[in-house]
Amino acid sequence: MHVAILLYPRFTALDAVGPYTVLAFAPGWTVTFVAAEPGPVTDDRGTLTLTATASYEDLPHPDVIVVPGGPGTFDVMSDEALLGWLREAHEHSRWTTSVCSGSFVLAAAGLLEGLTATSHWALLDMLPQYGAEPVSERVVTQGRIVTAAGVSAGIDMALTLLAQATDETTAQSVQLVIEYDPHPPFDAGSPRTAPEGLTELALKLIS
């Protein structure tokens, strides 16, 4: 199984690295970072750089596509080279997935029309503008399209995908090896549970 994780300027690192870590541990799976051209691509903080080792032309038909989100999402929604690769790759993929605002890239490529999908809570209500029906869930599966909510949800998405592609035992083994056993110190990971006033503070961090 060959996974292509798309990189573009100002992606959010965990959106890409979370699924990478899960899927790279899967037996027999290969994960490649893909961009317009091979080379370094810097994240949304401007301090972490991942290297794309393949261009769109180098990997036209991956088995799995992962599109991360980040502040750069809305810049690449009009990038026809990227969208063209995504459409063509999706025609041949077994699964096409997104994390966080990466769902908007799928939508811009015309892949979410009439489907339910999720994204980061701050952007969820915008999905109908792009033809998708928003669902406030951690992971949403619509046939062979799988979307994940914000950032850390990419790990859940990758484990869900791995279970579907192989079996639950394999996915559980990977979950154990990466010790994904979250016990967050605060119950503030969702607007539904966050203390009053915290949503506004959080939005300032991404505005």
Q: Are 44 and 12 in contact (CB under 8 A)?
A: yes
Q: Show contacts of 185-193: CB within 8 Å, 24+ apart.
A: 189/152, 190/121, 191/121
Alpha-carbon distance 56 to 33, whole Å? Answer: 10
Task: Confirm if 18 and 99 have CB atoms less than 8 A apart.
Answer: yes
Q: Which of 100, 112, 124, 151 is catalytic?
A: 100
DSSP bridge pairs for 41:
50
- Hey, what are 151's tokens? 């950032």
100 is catalytic: yes
Q: Residues 12-41, buried b or exposed e (16+ Cβ, 10 A)?
A: bbbbbbbbbbbbebbeebebebbbbeeeeb
**Helix H or strand E segment including 13:** helix 13-24
* Active centre residues (catalytic): 100
